[in-house]
Structure 1
Amino acid sequence: MKNLLNFSLTASEIKNLSQTLISKSRAVYDQVSALSSDRATFKNAIIPIAKIEAEYSVASANIYFPQYVSPIKEVRDASVEANKALEEFSIETDMRADIYKVVLAVAEKNEELGPEDKRLLEKMLLDYKRNGLGLNEKKQELLKEIKKKLSNLAIQFSSNMNEDNTTVIFTEEELEGVPADYLKSLNKRVIDQKEYFVLTMKYPDVFAVLKNAVNEETRRRMDYSYSTKCKANLPILEEAVRLRRDAAQVLGYEDHATFRLETRMAKTPENVFNFLEDLKNKLTPLGEKELERLRQLKREHLESLGKQFNGSIEAFDFHFYHKMLMEKDYQINEEEIKEYFSLESVTQGMLDIYQKVLNLKFTEIENKNVWHQDVRTFNVIDATSDEVIGQFYLDLFPRDGKYTHAACFGLQPGYIDVDTNERCYPVAAMVANFSKPMEGKPSLLKHNEVVTYFHELGHVMHQICSKTKHARFHGTKVERDFVEAPSQMLENWCWEPTILHKLSEHYQRKGEKLPSETIERMVKAKNLNAGLLNLRQLFFGFYDMKLHTAKESLSATKLWDELKENITLIPNPHNTWPVASFGHIMGGYDAGYYGYLWSQVFSADMFFSKFKNNVMSVENGLQYRKLILGPGGSRDGDNMLRDFLGRDPTVDPFLKSIGYNK
């Protein structure tokens, strides 16, 4: 079947499409709702809903995706507004008592169904229950109103982040240590006949300063600017947390976290807190030891500059001294190493690896139906059958108004069309913000950006390799605390010496690979400050869970300040609000951020059990594709894991992978 996506829609066409889509979908739901309980069957009630859900998911991508990637502000704004209408319609549909009545009637008939059809019916019933369809009419209306408010708040929060245009200016002297080639890429501004470099709050600018600027005040100013952007999001977040708590209580749950975890692998807040606390207890002594080493390094550095050390590592210090330690103890120079990781060579090497391990073929095609000239399009073909099984886009460079992080967007799900019995193939987009090529120099990736690239393309592969009957279960539509495991598993390739050798080539000296001794040092340095870095992840998980298990309203910034130093061991800068740009907490990871570490435990187990001894194993790759990627959300994550591992998962490989010794 075709790629049904259209990225050339104007602002008015997006608005019209949203109205058409809503009308068409509503007509189907109205038709289903008209069925009497005795006439309702899986075929005439559930299948039409599954069919319109599939069509809706494709058409809605044409509406919501432009807000993240369109170079035209008018189109981005129209996408935001149209998406609000879609979200409101979804809430209305999810809370239709007449549809629930029909679905309940079908369930009570106990028809003999296949496993995925049976799961579809069960999940639909659970969704209706969680949407309040068992409540009285007054409570249903209240819940619907709360959901609409929450939807609008989430859209506004995201829009504020995407449209943020905060900048900070520095003189060349203030930017001492920042690579000269990076300075060349920056815009300049002249004030009172003095030239300043203009830096944005996008990742490449922020980390260029935090990692490299020798001047402590420069780093402090950059960190402060980054930590105080999007202030308008603070009341939005606090209102959302309050509304989530209200919604959970209307539904009869103790709190929002209890509500959210009902459908996750973790099941209860208690299980999550136990998981986080156990890791915190194990990692804090390691983090304290690492922090002492950073203090020692900072003392030596300041004394060499004739300055006094106050005994503290600040938020704006970590990346600078982490990099210095990398260079001092492991002779790792990121600027030199990135010369071997041009975007071109990494992309080709990475695609070769994924093709081999997953038994696929990628073919780049010329495609004018894209949203920007930088976007590349690839067809994905099964290497055994030569069947086209999907398509993906790469949109890798920053631009104004574009989504500011790295992410995979599943734009068109794979599913079987009930009318033709043909498979609709999946389409996904990877969106990132790697440094742009400059005159005479290609885009060069730091090693951590290579890891990010592998991770996000891992999500793309999950979308492409999934093969489900229903769109509702396609690809990454697994439990939220399992969704990161497949892509995290693929990050491990970035630390294998043979793979680093394969991916690398000096951008000027063709054919020259990253030296073996450098690769050896990089692998040894993998766990540098792993304690502190994982404590940071634990902090985000604790913060999210504390916020969403609180019995009364909390100050989002006060809680952040209280937990930050206690868990990460590094204080939050005074009078800042980093939580205002903590996109995950308003982007679907509410009461779910712990999932990054939760799933990392599984990803480490999968890699060390199946791939560590043979990273290019096609046999294990096919098993991984069949048992982990293929089922999408049509099976529970813990069942898929047990099938793939042949046993229950364990935390030991994860702890070993970050250098923890009991």
Structure 2
Amino acid sequence: MTVSKDTFLNFKLNQQQLSELGEAIITRSREVYDRVAAVPDAECSFDTVIRPLAELENWSAGEENVATFLQYVSDDKQVRDASMDVDKKLQEFGIESAMRLDLYQRVVAARANTSPEAFAALSDEDRRLFDKIELDFKRNGLALPEAQRNELKVLKKQLADQSIEFSRRVNEDATSVAVDESELDGMPRDWIDGLSKDESGKRLVTMKYPDFFPLMKMCKVEETRKKVLFANDSRCKDNVATLEKACGAKCNSIKCRRQAAKLLGYQNHAAFKLEIKMAKTDEAAISFLADLRKRLYPLAEKELDVLRRIKAQEKEKLGLPNDGQINAWDMHYYSRLLKETEYDVNDELIKEYFSMASVTAGMLKIYETVLSLKFNEIEQPPVWHKDVRMFQVSDAASGETIGHFYLDLHPRDGKYTHAACFGLRPGCQHADGRRDLPAAAMVANFSKPTADKPSLLKHNEVTTFFHELGHVMHQICSKVQWARFHGTAVERDFVEAPSQMLENWCWEAAELEKLSSHYVRKGEPLPRDQIDRMVKAKNLNAGLLNLRQIFFGTFDLTVHTAEEDLDTTALWSKLREEVTLTQNMPNTWGAATFGHIMGGYDAGYYGYLWSEVFSADMFLNRFSKEGVENPKTGMDYRTMILGPGGSRDASQMLHQFLGRDPTMDAFLKSIGLEESSKL
């Protein structure tokens, strides 16, 4: 195997270079499409039609990823805007190309010319490629009459524009709440010192999660929590119009999706999306959420009773009135108080053992051991920001370099506001025998170090770190021929399972000791008795927390199975109260910042819980039994689950790894419910 010489990616692109790169991708792609479209029907085959299209994807995927990635991470607004413009143009070109009837006709001719014997002689991945390319064209409406094809094309372009604008508003939102320090009772001094000030000297609490979530958990002043939550849930009002109101000649995004699905012959958008997922039908996904919701209600009711008791005790102690309710702004606060008072788990004390340096070093070591890998940090790496670290990944046994990844872990203005893995270059094979090494980036917003303290992570942030790096490992460990199957390009309701499974290491006592080291008392790990209490509290409010996930999934599926336009603000409020058993913040529009619904998870949010079922089954029935650092189990996981990427059905990979079909038993057990249920 020859590795591509272009090992390192170029992130030092200015506006003009980004624009030129976008044009180059479009020009080369159009040339290939025109060449394939010109192949006579009699000469259409896998080699003359399917292979050239796939080889183009192998080249263009990495180029596109870099060009569009910079909108999320560059500290230069002009570069971010240019990257966004390229993204928009590429999406528009992609929609246009996916609607080319001449290309679809060549694929149909290639299928007609391929005998069953010739098809069987192709490799498994090539056969899957053939099927997927043909299905993609059909799902893009190429079997429709011309008028309907053109109508679908318009709808798709509108949706692409709306998705980009929706995300831009969320990413660039600068909402903050000005508060006096007296309103921040209970907040740590280092957290307060990390807040900027306005002209009057008040502290500014932003909606970025290093500000928002600590305040919701620790601020003793109920009115402050209420004020900040209101600000958070009433952001980006223009996005409400994107979801549900017509804008000029355009229809809203939900209606666009519904109309597109109807044109293609599907009952609704959810039915269209789920056809190519593990669930297969919207009925299966809805039934899954409803069934789990029913099982969780008794548990959640008990959890709410406990939280009300904790609230009553605190209010009585402080001599304050008590409304007897767990309000939206109370949930995080009293959950934290319960954790500290009855489980003796104090997140603020625990985070002193989880400095960014100790967690990163410990986590990388665990991943090296479990997956039989070796990580080496690149000195003075070619990156997009000085804070970014870059690592070379090698196979531990052979020493062969298999990829690179980047860590961009702290917030800054204009940067993507959540935690995510971005695939930057797929590992794939070129026609001349060269192989591209995969590259991926983990982007997060963990608190920055201060003058007297390093960046300290709460345990849930350690878990987030493990999860997102799990996605990175999925990208790095995948080895396929075709880019479209690389890494996390699996069914969307399975994509979270490999990373969710790796979160379990954050609950293993021996692993937590390896990850931890007190930031002052260097080398002192988290005490074992503290670890035991943390593990005991693992399922604290599991009912309520999973109902929250069911709420998001139910909202998503409801709007995407509806036969008519909905008031998303009213629906959000109604479902939140019905499903989560807590009231929604009045006069807010939470759906306006529900990024998943416009960021690729439309009709797919249920997948987080769906995939949790598989992650629990993999961990409890392989790693937990065979050893969490068992190299044989880890290598099975690397080769059977991560390695194939999307080149096989997830159900087949799970069956191979588990030795049977998955069940819900392990998941129910993992959250404290011992019931048994088959999927």
Q: TM-score, normalised by structure 1?
A: 0.99
Aligned to 1:87: 91
Distance 2:170 2:206 in 1: 13
Distance 1:27 1:624 in 2: 40
Aligned to 2:391: 378
| 1:321 paired residue among 322, 328, 334 | 334
Give the letter aligned to residue 177 of structure 2.
V
Cα gap change, 1:368 to 1:624, in 2 (>3 Å)? closer
Deviation at 1:54, TM superposition (A): 1.4
SS in 1 for 2:197: strand
Cα gap change, 1:203 to 1:60, in 2 (>3 Å)? same
SS in 1 for 2:511: helix
- Report matched runs for 1:24-423 at 5 Å: 24-110=28-114, 111=118, 112-191=121-200, 195-238=201-244, 239-418=252-431, 420-423=432-435
Give the letter aligned to residue 497 of structure 1.
A
Distance 1:105 1:61 in 2: 32
Distance 2:216 2:8 in 1: 43
RMSD over aligned CA atoms reads: 0.9
Give the letter aligned to residue 487 of structure 1.
S
For the Cα contact (< 8 Å) 2:42–2:113, is it kept in 1?
no
Distance 1:511 1:58 in 2: 41
Give the letter aligned to residue 64 of structure 2.
S
Distance 2:300 2:33 in 1: 54
Deviation at 1:4, TM superposition (A): 5.6
SS in 2 for 1:188: coil
Aligned to 1:619: 632
Deviations 1:113-156 (A, max 9, x none): 11100100000010000000000010000000100000010011
Deviation at 1:649, TM superposition (A): 0.2
Deviation at 1:444, TM superposition (A): 0.3
| 2:489 paired residue among 464, 471, 477 | 477
- Report matched runs for 1:570-649 at 5 Å: 570-613=582-625, 614-649=627-662
For the Cα contact (< 8 Å) 1:4–1:58, is it kept in 2?
no
Deviation at 1:109, TM superposition (A): 2.0
- Report matched runs for 1:528-567 at 5 Å: 528-567=540-579
Give the letter aligned to residue 205 of structure 2.
L
Following TM superposition, the consecutive aligned residue runs of length 4 or more in structure 1 with deviations greater than 4 angstroms are none
SS in 2 for 1:467: coil
Deviation at 1:62, TM superposition (A): 2.2
- 2:664 is aligned with 1:651: yes
Give the letter aligned to residue 145 of structure 1.
V
Distance 1:117 1:374 in 2: 41
Q: Which runs of 5+ in 2 are unaligned?
A: 245-251
For the Cα contact (< 8 Å) 2:58–2:429, is it kept in 1?
no
Distance 1:661 1:611 in 2: 20
SS in 2 for 1:619: helix
Deviation at 1:230, TM superposition (A): 1.0
- Report matched runs for 1:451-462 at 5 Å: 451-462=463-474
Deviation at 1:14, TM superposition (A): 0.8
Deviation at 1:412, TM superposition (A): 0.1
Distance 2:481 2:312 in 1: 61
For the Cα contact (< 8 Å) 1:380–1:390, is it kept in 2?
yes
- 2:531 is aligned with 1:525: no
For the Cα contact (< 8 Å) 1:506–1:513, is it kept in 2?
yes
Aligned length: 658
Deviations 1:2-42 (A, max 9, x none): 23622111112111211121011101100000001101121
SS in 1 for 2:62: helix
Give the letter aligned to residue 235 of structure 2.
K
Distance 2:24 2:8 in 1: 16
Distance 1:237 1:20 in 2: 33
Aligned to 2:248: none
- 2:7 is aligned with 1:7: no
SS in 2 for 1:198: strand
For the Cα contact (< 8 Å) 1:5–1:61, is it kept in 2?
no
SS in 1 for 2:141: coil
For the Cα contact (< 8 Å) 2:477–2:642, is it kept in 1?
yes
Distance 1:648 1:44 in 2: 39
Q: TM-score, normalised by structure 2?
A: 0.96
Deviation at 1:262, TM superposition (A): 0.4
Aligned to 1:21: 25
Give the letter aligned to residue 228 of structure 2.
M
Aligned to 1:468: 480
Distance 2:590 2:9 in 1: 36
Distance 1:518 1:259 in 2: 48
Most deviating of 150-159 and 5-14 = 5-14
Give the letter aligned to residue 41 of structure 1.
S
For the Cα contact (< 8 Å) 2:8–2:382, is it kept in 1?
no
For the Cα contact (< 8 Å) 1:604–1:654, is it kept in 2?
yes
Most deviating of 35-44 and 446-455 = 35-44
Deviation at 1:580, TM superposition (A): 0.7
For the Cα contact (< 8 Å) 1:14–1:62, is it kept in 2?
no
Give the letter aligned to residue 338 of structure 1.
K
Deviations 1:615-649 (A, max 9, x none): 10100000001100010000000010000000010
Distance 1:449 1:358 in 2: 22
Deviation at 1:56, TM superposition (A): 1.1
Deviations 1:478-521 (A, max 9, x none): 00000000000000000000111110000010111111100000
